[in-house]
């Protein structure tokens, strides 16, 4: 059949199971938007291309499928860069379709031309510039295959306008993808599994350290089985939150810079560390020389480059986390008891729970808001966050029961991620409440996506923890720079209630602790538009505990009284 390149593109996307694209039109992608006019693929019109990338990213995190975004050439494509880098750092599979000037104009500094394949080379798993209409199907199949297999990640496909306009005879081939030099990781070293099992059986004080790889490989059930059968406490990274139920008696919560004291103490005392789907990030390890000093380390990861990169490993196992944990579980006999080690941890939990005091100014404590959100949703919600104090408080005080319900920018720490991520999450799971925990600084980075949420009648809730500061930067200035608040006061800001109303959303302001519960209940009852709740919180509330940068995990500030 005779089809334009743009029509072939959309048919190929549908063959890959794509039902939703987040995008913003422009001249170079007009052929694609013309084809979308009659397509079954749902297109979500964002207000900025960065929002499209973040929404596609969140859609992928929530569903486990590949997220797709679309932009025009030049500035449209470069506006995706932060979102691409965010997905790359967190190993999220997204396909970024970028328009390009006609192939005969490439390299001539044409209007709205940018070398997006060159620009994004360091922040993608792979990228393509399609030069022939005949290559569209092969490239799409390869791109989705690469994005999803091994360690997931973003792929950029650059689409010259003339390639999209050209008409050719085309029939789908559905041939198997075979990329020279790219092999999907299958299996693992079973001998290493046997050695790991032997270490687990002999350990007296083991700890499981679980990361985002547990979530992306759908390994949560195998992780739970290992923890329960061997009675091993589990701590997670920021990206691993939800991979193990926070409500479980073996949960230590998050570890690292803003982790719980008992998680960090357990790392310091353990004799075996089972690291599953993690990369030993600096915010987790603190001072490398003092991280898990008494422990043998088993490291399971799909990416061989991560093993031994930051921390010396005794037993490296390269493979899919879920497959490896299943193999380990199949060889282990249940442990009758591990009471001595668990008693020590229980004592730490009792002595050092997460806690916070009252506001010096009589304002709302931000931690209280997160606790109320959990109380009203009972963990049956998707939480997206911006980046900073709001992110850490959400990670600490909301109890996550399921994977793919905590959607946050981990590795890159992208301010402005949370609101467009909430849009993507709600499109992915319209059946679940979606709540964006935000700071008054971060929310202004992509506040325009409120318009997207209004247009598509998405009842997402944006909880702004408004302290009129760039809160986390101010906290560092307070603790490490003598309290010199250099350019972190953002008290000149919009009236968020009026701003919500101007967009056609609901706006609520809360200044008193007694009003928190009612405001959240009111917001949860709205079903046809977004709600902004502007919580005026204690201006100088800090995130504790905190390990000073470069410090040891057992040297934590605050949170102990």
Range of 492's domain? Answer: 366-536
Per-residue pLDDT of the chain (561 residues; tens, 9 = 90+): 999 999 999 999 999 999 999 999 999 999 999 999 999 999 999 999 999 999 999 999 999 999 999 999 999 999 999 999 999 999 999 999 999 999 999 999 999 999 999 999 999 999 999 999 999 999 999 999 999 999 999 999 999 999 999 999 999 987 889 899 899 988 999 999 999 999 999 999 999 999 999 999 999 999 999 999 999 999 999 999 999 999 999 999 999 999 999 999 999 999 999 999 999 999 999 999 999 999 999 999 999 999 999 999 999 999 999 999 999 999 999 998 899 999 999 999 999 999 998 887 788 999 999 999 999 999 999 999 999 999 999 999 999 999 999 999 999 999 999 999 999 999 999 999 999 999 999 999 999 999 999 999 999 999 999 999 999 999 999 999 999 999 999 999 999 999 999 999 999 999 999 999 999 999 999 999 999 999 999 999 999 999 999 999 999 998 653
Q: How many domains does the chain have?
A: 3
- 90 belongs to a structural domain: yes
- 314 belongs to a structural domain: yes
- 560 belongs to a structural domain: no
| Per-residue buried b or exposed e for 403-431, using 16+ beta carbons within 10 Å of the residue's own CB | bbbbbbbbbbbbbbbbbbbbbbbbbbbee
Q: Is 111 a catalytic residue?
A: yes
- 550 belongs to a structural domain: no
Same domain, 392 and 345: no
Which of these is catalytic: 89, 472, 546, 556?
472
Closest listed residue to residue 7, CA positions, set 37, 46, 52, 42: 37
How many C-beta neighbours within 10 Å does residue 78 have?
Answer: 18
CATH number for the domain harbouring residue 498: 3.40.50.970
**Measured distance CA(71)–CA(97) in Å, rounded:** 6
Same domain, 38 and 136: yes
Beta-bridge mates of residue 156: 96, 127
Same domain, 280 and 333: yes
Same domain, 146 and 25: yes
Same domain, 163 and 201: no
Same domain, 218 and 261: yes
CATH number for the domain harbouring residue 343: 3.40.50.1220
Same domain, 264 and 401: no
First to last CA, the chain: 73
Same domain, 127 and 213: no
β-sheet with 461-466: strand ranges across: 406-407, 382-385, 434-439, 461-466, 531-536, 506-510
Same domain, 280 and 409: no
Alpha-helix residue ranges (DSSP H) falling in 203-260 = 212-216, 220-230
Q: Which of 303, 327, 351 is the last residue of a domain?
A: 351
Q: Is 161 a catalytic residue?
A: yes
Same domain, 164 and 213: no
Predicted pLDDT of residue 561:
39
- 177 belongs to a structural domain: no
**Measured distance CA(186)–CA(366) in Å, rounded:** 46
- 374 belongs to a structural domain: yes
- Cβ(42)–Cβ(428) under 8 Å? no
Predicted pLDDT of residue 560:
55
Same domain, 143 and 208: no
Strands (E), 401-460: 406-407, 434-439
Predicted pLDDT of residue 357:
87
Radius of gyration from C-alpha coordinates of the chain = 24
Q: Is 472 a catalytic residue?
A: yes
Half-sphere exposure of 354 (CA within 13 A, CB side): 25
315 burial type by CB count under 10 A (0-12 exposed, 13-18 middle, 19+ buried): buried
- 464 belongs to a structural domain: yes
- 552 belongs to a structural domain: no
Which of these is catalytic: 65, 161, 205, 225?
161
Which of these is catalytic: 14, 111, 202, 498?
111
Which of these is catalytic: 7, 11, 22, 49?
49
Predicted pLDDT of residue 358:
86
**Measured distance CA(297)–CA(316) in Å, rounded:** 8
Same domain, 204 and 142: no
**Measured distance CA(426)–CA(58) in Å, rounded:** 9
Which of these is catalytic: 15, 16, 112, 455?
112
E strand or H helix that includes residue 445: none
């Amino acid at each position: 059949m005779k089809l334009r390149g743009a029509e072939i593109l959309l048919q190929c996307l549908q063959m890959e199971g794509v039902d939703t694209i987040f995008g913003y039109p422009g001249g170079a992608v007009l052929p694609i938007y013309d084809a979308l006019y009659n397509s079954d693929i749902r297109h979500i019109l964002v207000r900025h291309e960065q929002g499209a990338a973040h929404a596609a990213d969140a859609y992928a995190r929530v569903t486990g499928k590949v997220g797709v975004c679309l932009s025009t050439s030049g500035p449209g494509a470069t506006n995706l860069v932060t979102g691409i880098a965010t997905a790359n750092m967190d190993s999220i599979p997204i396909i970024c379709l970028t328009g390009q000037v006609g192939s005969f104009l490439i390299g001539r500094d044409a209007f709205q031309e940018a070398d997006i394949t060159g620009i994004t080379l360091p922040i993608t798993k792979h990228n393509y510039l399609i030069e022939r209409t005949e290559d569209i199907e092969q490239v799409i199949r390869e791109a989705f295959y690469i994005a999803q297999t091994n360690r997931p990640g973003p792929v950029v496909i650059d689409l010259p306008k003339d390639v999209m306009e050209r008409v050719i005879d085309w029939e789908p081939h559905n041939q198997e993808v075979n990329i020279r030099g790219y092999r999907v990781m299958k299996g693992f070293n079973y001998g290493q599994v046997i050695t790991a099992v032997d270490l687990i059986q002999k350990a007296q004080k083991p700890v499981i350290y679980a990361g985002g790889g547990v979530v992306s490989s759908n390994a949560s059930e195998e992780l739970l089985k290992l923890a329960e059968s061997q009675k091993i406490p589990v701590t997670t990274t920021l990206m691993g939150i939800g991979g193990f139920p926070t409500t479980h008696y073996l949960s230590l919560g998050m570890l690292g810079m803003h982790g719980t004291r008992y998680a960090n103490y357990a790392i310091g005392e353990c004799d075996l560390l089972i690291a599953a789907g993690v990369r030993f990030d600096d915010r987790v390890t603190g001072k490398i020389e003092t991280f898990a000093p008494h422990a043998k380390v088993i490291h399971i990861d799909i990416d061989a480059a991560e093993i031994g990169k930051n921390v010396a490993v005794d037993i490296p196992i390269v493979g899919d986390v879920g497959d490896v944990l299943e193999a380990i579980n199949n060889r282990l006999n249940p442990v009758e008891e591990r009471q001595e080690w668990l008693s020590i941890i229980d004592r730490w939990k009792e002595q050092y729970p997460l806690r916070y005091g009252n506001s010096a100014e009589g304002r709302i404590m931000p931690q209280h808001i997160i606790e109320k959100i959990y109380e009203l949703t009972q963990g049956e919600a998707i939480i997206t966050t911006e980046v900073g104090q709001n992110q850490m408080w959400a990670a600490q005080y909301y109890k996550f029961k399921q994977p793919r319900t905590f959607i946050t920018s981990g590795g890159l720490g992208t301010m402005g991620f949370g609101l467009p991520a909430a849009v993507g999450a709600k499109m992915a799971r319209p059946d679940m409440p979606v709540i964006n925990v935000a700071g008054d600084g971060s929310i202004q980075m992509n506040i325009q996506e409120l318009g997207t949420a209004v247009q598509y009648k998405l009842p997402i809730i944006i909880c702004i923890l408004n302290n009129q500061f760039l809160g986390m930067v101010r906290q560092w200035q307070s603790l490490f720079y003598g309290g010199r608040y250099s350019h972190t006061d953002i008290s000149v800001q919009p009236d968020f209630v009026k701003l919500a109303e101007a967009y056609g959303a609901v706006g609520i302001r809360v200044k008193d602790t007694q009003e928190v519960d009612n405001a959240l209940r009111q917001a949860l009852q709205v079903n046809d538009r977004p709600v902004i709740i502007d919580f005026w919180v204690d201006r100088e509330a800090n995130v504790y505990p905190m390990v000073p940068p470069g410090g040891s995990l057992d040297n934590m500030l605050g949170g102990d009284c």
